[in-house]
Chains A and B, each alone.
Chain A
Amino acid sequence: MSVENAPVVDVDEAAIPVEKKMYYRFESNDKKEFRVSELAIQQSETLNRLVEAMGYTSEDVENKPAIAIENIDGKTLKLVFQWCEHHKGEAIPVDDGSVPKIVEIPEFDAKLMDIDNGLLFKLIWAADYLNIVQLLNVSCKKVANMAQGKTPAQLRRVYLLPSDEEDEAAKRAAQEAQDPRAREVEEEFEERKRQGGNSFF
């Protein structure tokens, strides 16, 4: 899909470059495009490092293809960027164990995460993938809150957890289906690691 035809989602009206704010364009794996302010991107350690390294100018942002995030779909990415825009400029929490971690879910986050469980797990996965510490904290807290007062059977339903038997069957199936090419690479890697090889190229 060309850039011109892609549906562009502004996750924050204020991020539109009326005031010449720097923003970046990202594309989800289902080709949905997002414009996100530079300040909001700072909430994601991964994306922040990436845009810093790319050193794009405003013209580059417009002229070059949107930055592809291949493992996250548009629905999830929209939530991620909405969260980042709302919390832009806020300090990123550091969990060094010096103080007990107390996570409270703000009202905005609670509304944002008022979504089905499947999407919530995708949001957690995305927060981890993009290294957005506080989004990961609140989304994990939300999942933990879902467990309150449940029986083991109810937890299985809420979290879509397999029983021990189902789990073992799934593992067996996964082993059987493992890509032989990937196995070959792993073996090769282990062998080279033992030999202490140089750069691949």
Chain B
Amino acid sequence: MTGTEETENNMYMLYEAANKTPVYEAYQKLCKFRGNFSIDYVDFEQKYYRFYHGNSNLEPAESSSSRTFSKLPIDIIKLIIDELELIDKLTLRKVSKELRSIVDDPKFVSSNVFISFEANISEFGLEENQIRYYDENGTSNYKITTRDSDGYTRKFKVKKRIIEEEHWETMIRDLSTIFEIPNWKFARIIWYFDAGVDEDRLTPPDILQKRIQSIEKMLEASFLQVESISIFSTEHTAVMAILPNVIPGSLEFLGLNSDNNGAKLEDAVKLEQWKKLKRTSVENVSDSFPIEHFFHLESFSIYQIRFSEDRLVKIRDILFKSAKFWRCCLTSEIEDQVNVDENGEAISTLRELINAVNRVMGEHPEYNADTRCYSIPDSDEHFFVYPCENYHSLQLKIRRVKNGEEDIDDSFEEFV
């Protein structure tokens, strides 16, 4: 075929593709016009569909002798990338700008990410991928766990890590890559620092602080946009390394899940991120901590708090001022100390709590001790105040409800 003839054929294909003529009909028409069938149909069809899909690039098809990875069509490269394991995707995106843009292109929303640090193991999970970084017998390894084809059982393989560095350093580097990908969003991130680890197997304090500093550095470089964060850490600095580096307003829920919260709540509540939270779940609140710091939230739960009279007064006085507050559940372990009434009879701790609540709330004219309802003036709503006992704990549940819809038992399910 001469150059001119090929150009004419290309022109013809462009027009037929633009007019959406069926491909074989277009091919036959061209062959009829040329008076022979010497035109390669496969080549014709490929060009035709390229034009059909709006790509008018007429670069001649490359010789099959020059095929390399980067010369594969973009759709094929995407197919290959889809087949890569997460850890290899992270490596591939470091190869070139073009590959980075292809790897990063698909929008990806992960519902759950967990990140765990222990003395000898670092691990994170992202959807079906779970990667453990550890050292064993002098070699560094990955253990990569993925879901099997049935979607339920898991299979794993162990691979040697080539980069020689501490397991937690490698993981933080991989996490920093993941957090920097603009199209990847995360709904919930759970951080574990030596969670559930025996005392004698805890990470040495100096190493723990190094990790926390690395995490802080990573997050400072790529602020986290995430709706929910839970942190299991007894180390205050861990919370203060993470929380200030979350985009304020994106974070709706914060869970502080260690006995000492892993945080000085006094520091955390000063942060914009705390002020813009909607929900929280906190393990422990000290006697001196002002409870008012929770009432800008829609809902919260505290797993250990003492119900002092002074605290009940503060709750009573702030309820009406809390426009967004919807519900809370405060829990207190039952103490062994037993009080007695004026007749020398033991008073149950629940009775004591009910008496205290009625006494304190009853000082407000809108509180009805019989119904435990605390009417909200100029509204068809009220706060239902419900002291109860749950295993070896006392609970005080408060919920904003529509008048006539008191059903407190169904109202305090999990917050998250």
Contacts and interface: CB of A to CB of B under 8 A. Distances in A.
A92 interface: no
B65 interface: yes
B73 interface: yes
B293 interface: no
B95 A197 contact: no
Interface stretch (A8-16, A33-41, A175-183): A175-183
A111 interface: no
Interface in A124-150: 124-126, 128-130, 136-137, 140-141, 143-145, 147-150
Interface in B245-278: none
Contacts of A69: 40, 42
A175 B18 CA distance: 25
A4 interface: no
Contacts of A47: 42
B41 A50 contact: yes
Given A69-B42, A128-B76, A159 B69 contact: yes
B33 A147 contact: no
A103 B138 CA distance: 34
Contact of A161 (B67, B99, B151): B99
Nearest to B151: A100
Interface string B84-101: 110110011011111100
B46 interface: yes
B42 A130 contact: yes
Interface stretch (A17-25, A82-90, A187-195): A187-195
Contact of A128 (B7, B41, B73): B73
Contact of A70 (B16, B43, B56, B151): B43
A123 B99 CA distance: 21
B33 A144 contact: no
Nearest to A126: B64
Contacts of A126: 64
Given A129-B42, A161-B96, A161-B99, A136 B56 contact: no
Nearest to A138: B83
B12 interface: yes
Contacts of A67: 41
Chain A contact patch, size range: 35 or more
Interface in B15-48: 15-16, 18-19, 21, 24, 29, 33, 40-43, 45-46
A152 B91 contact: yes
Interface in A143-177: 143-145, 147-152, 155-156, 159-164, 167
B162 interface: yes
B159 interface: yes
A199 B16 contact: yes
A1 interface: no
A79 to B, nearest CB: 12
Interface of B: 3, 7, 10-12, 14-16, 18-19, 21, 24, 29, 33, 40-43, 45-46, 56-61, 64-65, 67-73, 75-76, 79-85, 87-88, 91-92, 94-99, 142, 149, 151, 159-160, 162-163
Ordered nearest first, which 3 A-B pairs have the shortest CB separation? A144-B83, A159-B69, A182-B58
11 contacts: A46-B45, A70-B42, A73-B65, A124-B72, A125-B64, A143-B80, A149-B87, A179-B58, A189-B11, A189-B56, A192-B18
